[in-house]
Every structure is written in structure tokens, then in C-alpha cells.
Amino acid sequence: MKVLIPGALRSYTRESHVEAAGSTLDELFADLDRRYPGLRFRVVDEQNLLRPNMRIFVNGLGVREMQHALRPDDDVAVVLALSGG
């Protein structure tokens, strides 16, 4: 499936869009980490939860569960949430 990578993580992939596989978000990030070591740790914490500043959209729908089911034709976007004051 196609995965959109935010600018802050492109030092890992060198591309804005990459291909990855997995039937869940957990498997998807495991595949991405095999291809781009260190990427998963920037998105997923030690408790296997998405980091608070990360947002994942599957076909435009925001999801937070690492066991969210994926299909091979899904579009996944990894987005950094902005904060400040």
C-alpha cells in the first residue's frame, strides 16, 4: 500500500511516498522499520502506542489503534500534529 511520509521523517525514507505491506498498522510499521530502520520508533512508543504528536489517516479517516485492519489498496498518511502556543 502507499504510505505518505511527513517531511520530518523523510531523512529515513528519502521519499514522500513509499510502499509498504501489512494487514494492520502494527504490521505496516514493522515492515516500514525493516525497510527504513528507526522509523517505527519515531511514530510508535515502547508500549506499542502511537506517539501523542503523530496522526495516522487511512483513506482519510483518522485512526489510533495499532490493530486497525488494512487492505493492500489503502492509502495511509503519517502526519505530525502541530503544537505550540
Q: In 3D, which of 52, 48, 49, 44 has the Cα closest to residue 82?
A: 52
Q: Residue 83 class from Cβ within 10 Å (0-12 exposed, 13-18 middle, 19+ buried)?
A: exposed
Q: What is the pLDDT of residue 81?
A: 83
Q: What is the pLDDT of residue 66?
A: 96
pLDDT tens-digit map of 65-85:
999 999 999 999 999 987 655
Phi, psi of 12 (to 5 degrees): -80, -45
pLDDT tens-digit map of 49-65:
999 999 999 999 999 99
Confidence grade of residue 47 (pLDDT, cut at 50, 70, 90): very high
Strands (E), the chain: 2-4, 17-19, 54-58, 61-63, 75-80
Q: How far apart are CA 74 and CA 9, in angstroms?
A: 20
Assigned fold of 2-80: Ubiquitin-like (UB roll) (3.10.20)
Cβ proximity of 29 and 50 under 8 Å: no
The model's pTM is 0.91
Q: What is the pLDDT of residue 85?
A: 56
